[in-house]
Structure 1
Amino acid sequence: MSGRYQLVQTPERLELRDTQDAKIGSVYVDFLEGKARHRQQFGGGKGQNIAKAIGLHKFKQPHVIDATAGLGRESFVLASLGCSVTMLERSPIVHALLEDAMKRALASDSAEVLETVSRMTLHLADAHAWLEQFGAVSQPDVIYCDPMFPERRKTALVQKEMRFFHAVVGADADSDSLLGLACRYAKHRVVVKRPRHAPVLAGSQPAFVIGGKAVRYDVYLGKATAQEHA
């Protein structure tokens, strides 16, 4: 790719680098160590908020579509909790980072990592188009959406990742329409991750909210569950 941000293949992994500011380091995806692995080992299992929002206390090994895969951390955590996860990422750059992380994880000698990654499937696809084509066929139990957060400046790491993503991916301006589409195809739930004080997507009030200190999970009922409550 050309421009300020470059994909660079190092001996260890594929990285996205800022060619104009080498001091801030690189962005990459890693399922062997770092945040995703730490959450798998010490994140609280099914007691953490994302697990409650997905409904792991109700649904056994659900099929979850992560419609905005990003760095794949939530997908990895959900897969480690027994979910079958279909990851959709429309940015070729971010998809390349995810694909590289998947390959490295599959080459790992960690049985726990291998078991987790075996439940993850990655597609280079726009969630809108993918759901229109396959949503009715795949009938996912849950569709998870994590639209691009506004830039925050609380930590250097978050600032770096958001700066890179805003530059190479852009804003998720179509999040509102994705919510409507997800609610059409999800069997049980649509879960949207939002900053704690951010407005709801599309002005649509969720059935309930799982709140945390920095983020919340807005939960909308899918077709099957909505009919049960009708």
Structure 2
Amino acid sequence: MSLDFALLLFWSKKLLATLLLPPIGPLLLIAAGLLLTARRPRAGRVLAWSGLAIAVLLTLPAGSALLLGGLEARAPIGAAELERAEAIVVLGGGRRDNAPDFGGETINRLTLERVRYGARLARQSGLPVLVSGGAPGGGIPEATLMRQALEEEFGVPVRWAERASLDTRQNAQFSAVLLHAAGVRRIALVTHAAHLPRARAEFEAAGLEVIDAPTAWLGFPGGTPRALDLLPGAGAAYASWMATHEWLGRLAYRLSR
């Protein structure tokens, strides 16, 4: 059996990210500190308490907002900007394998948020749509599921479906091949606001001019916290996970260039 290096690299990155991202990352710090306490009590306590402090901070909206501050675009795409685009590109964000209500598999929450906004922009502009996302774990590619959702549920036709990519870099590289063949050079790129800076960099490196089309902001509305936003919660923990994921992704992007 031949070794698929690209797939091996993808899962290696996934494993490393799992170890670094919350909740595992802070828990590993706590565990390491507790183990170190027997030999070096002071250093062990510092490490364990640091892990606990990070874990708590990541459940606070103020903590997630701090992480998201340097990531999320501040404004949605404008009508004049959308008119400049030649196509709309919607990036996959994952799928839900256990979806018996949809016949087996469907797009997950992240992808649905992007697909919904992409459909809105497509109806507003009449631009052709490309969806991008593969199937690293086997099964139906994300792009196929995205196409089904757009055409069957939103009534928006999809011109191109890029089904081979494993990550954001391949989203850009493989999509650029399809778009360049069709004479498209300027795109409206639809993805989460926090993911957009990294995605834009990859698509520009692939030779496309990118117009930002962010959706699904996770930070404070208008950058101002409300009273309930100061309480810890699962929403803040999720936002912190995504923000941390993006910062690690940006670091990996810089190191690989």
Q: TM-score, normalised by structure 2?
A: 0.34
TM-score normalised to the size of structure 1? 0.37
Q: Which has the higher helix share?
A: 2
If asked which structure has higher relative contact order (CA below 8 Å, sep 6+), I would say 2
- Structure whose alpha-carbon radius of gyration is higher: 2
